[in-house]
Structures are given as C-alpha cells and as structure tokens.
Amino acid sequence: MEITAQEIEPIIWEVINIYLIPAFRGFDMNATGEWIDTVEARGDEIWGQPYTEQLVYGRKPGKFPPKEPIVQWAMAKFGVGRDEAEKIQYPIRKKIAEEGTKWYQEGGTNLLELLDSNQVKDYINGRLQEILTKKVQMNLVRYTKLAFR
C-alpha cells in the first residue's frame, strides 16, 4: 500500500508548525517574520528561505553581508524607520564581516537537526501509521462487502 505525496504534505505542515517554527522562535531568530511566513511543505519536503543556512550555521567572517537584508532586519529588530536603519546597517555589516554572526560564534544551532530527532521521526511514523491503518480498514470493508454479495 502506497502513501501519496498529497497524504504526506499535511503531515509535513504539522511538523513545521509543531516542531520547526517553535524551535525557530525558541532561538529568538524572528525579526521580520519572513522566515516563518515563507517556510512551507511541498509534498514530502520542507522549503524555506535561502538564508536558512545562515540561521543554522551562522555567517562566517570574511566579507560584508548584503546591505538590504540588514536594513530590513534592523528596521524590524530595533523598530526604527528606514533612514535610521540605513545609518546603522554599515556598522552591523562591518561587525559581521569581521567577526561573523552570533550564531557562527556560538557554533550554529540545531534548527534543522531537530527534524532528524527521534521525537519528530516518531511523530511522522505515527501519523503515517494512522494513514495506513485507515487504508487497510477501508480495503477490508470493501473486500468483505465484495466477498459477501
């Protein structure tokens, strides 16, 4: 018996909402809300922003990060307008270029590793087992009705 991508996708959405987003919030990473708003299930996969890599590993020193994302982050994080964010973006970008981000300095996070945890695996397996059990029950009823016609 096969489980389709359409049956798996709602489970992946549950994993996103029950495990991934709360972990993200627990790391106090949310500034603009963009990451939470755009993470999604596509079939049996989780898709997110390209900068998820920086959320997981941090950004190592070496070069300046792009200006506009830092401006947007500063506006959201500090509650300032665009003009003020434009003024403070350069020192922030310079510090990141020199030292890397806080998450890099701390060795990264386990934001995505949690998806490989026993807790998440058990949750997914339990939900898949529910789907298979329902399919078996439906087939048993159908075949029983056919057999006793």
On average, the pLDDT of the chain sits at 93
Domain identity same for 45 and 12: yes
Report the candidate in 104, 26, 92, 20 with the shortest Cα–Cα distance to residue 60. 104
Asked whether residue 142 carries a pLDDT value surpassing 90, the answer given is no
Asked whether residue 107 carries a pLDDT value surpassing 90, the answer given is yes
Check: pTM over 0.75? Answer yes or no: yes
Q: Across residues 49-74, what is the average pLDDT?
A: 94
pLDDT band at 78 (very low <50, low <70, confident <90, very high): very high
Domain identity same for 27 and 43: yes
Domain identity same for 92 and 122: no
pLDDT above 90: percentage of residues in the chain: 81
* Eight-class DSSP state of 77: H
Domain identity same for 3 and 49: yes
Domain identity same for 23 and 94: no
Asked whether residue 87 carries a pLDDT value surpassing 90, the answer given is yes
DSSP assignments along 11-59, one per residue:
HHHHHIIIIIHHHHHHTT--SSSHHHHH-EEETTEEE--TTHHHHHH--
Tell me what pLDDT residue 11 has.
97
Tell me what pLDDT residue 38 has.
96
Tell me what pLDDT residue 104 has.
95
Domain identity same for 35 and 75: no
**Domain encompassing residue 112:** 1-59+108-149
Domain identity same for 4 and 55: yes
